[in-house]
Structure 1
C-alpha cells in the first residue's frame, strides 16, 4: 500500500499524488509525518545523492526499512554511519541498481550464471555510456560534493554487477581515473571515468 508522498517541493509531491491517485496516496506536509506513522514499513527515496545516507539513517531509526535509488551515498564516512545504523536498528538499507535489477537481459544473464550455463565468471567488462542531456539535469548534478563523481554516480552500477556476476563478496580497486575532457562549462563534472578491480575470489572487473 502506498500511503504517503513527501517532497520539499509541493508541486512535485502533488504531481506524484495525481499520478498515483488510484492508490489513495496522500501528500505529507513534512518528513516527520511519514517517519512517525507506525503503519509505514518501508520508505523509498531518490533525493540528492549526498543526502541519501542521512535520510536512510533517520528512516531506519524510526523503525522502517529503506529503499533508495543508486548511488546510496557519496563518502566513506556515510558508509560507516549507515553500517552502524543497520547494526543498531536491524533494518534494511536497500539500493535500486536498476541497470541490473530492471533490465531483462541483465536478469537473464544472472540466471544463466546461476545455472552454470556459461561456466565460472572470471572477468566482467562493464561499459556505461550516458548522454549528458544537461538541460534536464538539476544544478546539484554538476556539483561533485552532491553527486559524488562519475564513478559513484554511474560506475557504481558496473561495480555492483561485477560483484554479483562473479560472486565476489568484496573487491580491491587496483586503479581508477576520472576526467573532464569536453565540458569546461561544468568544471566539477566528470565526463569520463574508469576503474579496474580484483575480487576476493580472484575475478577481474573493469
Structure 2
C-alpha cells in the first residue's frame, strides 16, 4: 500500500540533507524494517545481498541507495547493522521521537491510534482529535480523544510537525488547512480526496479503495482467456 510522491514533487526530486532521490527515500523505511529484524536476530553486520533478499530490492540498487548515507559498507565485510540503522533513522528524521497528531477517531483512526508499530519506528501518536461529542473523552490507544476545537492548541503544545487525516472526504481539506496553519509540515491522508497544500508541505495519500481496485484489476487479469 503506497501513496504517491509528496505534493509538488516528482519521483526523481531531491530531498533536503543528503542528496537522495524521492525513490531512494521511499526505500529507506523498507531497509530500516529489515535491519530491525536482523538486529533482533543478533546480526551485527549485513551484506547488500542479504539486505536485498530481505527487502526484495536488487543488491546493486541497495548499494547505490546506501552509498548516499556515507561510507558505511566495506567490500567483503558488509554494513554494520547498528550504524546503518542510526544513519537511516537520522535521514528520515527519526533519530528522536517524532510526535504525530491523529485527526479522526472513527474505525480507521481508532485502529491507527492503537497500532504499536509506529513507536517501534520512532513515531508516536501524541494526540487524537475528533468532532463527534460521543467519542470525545474516550480512550483511543494511549490517548484520550480531544475536541477538534483544540486542534491548534494540540499542535502547538505537542510541537508535532506530522499529522494523519482519517476523516470523511468532505472534511479533509478544511482540516488540512487548519493543520498547516498551525505548523504541520507533513500529512498522511487517508481521505479519498486530493488535498491542496502550500509549497513546502508534504502530503502522502493512501486511498484504500483505490488500492483494492488495483488489486482486483490484477486478479482479474490473471483469469483473462
- TM-score tier by shorter-chain length is 0.3 to 0.5
TM-score, normalised relative to structure 1: 0.36
Comparing both chains, which one has the higher relative contact order based on Cα–Cα distances under 8 Å and sequence gaps of 6 or more? Answer: 2
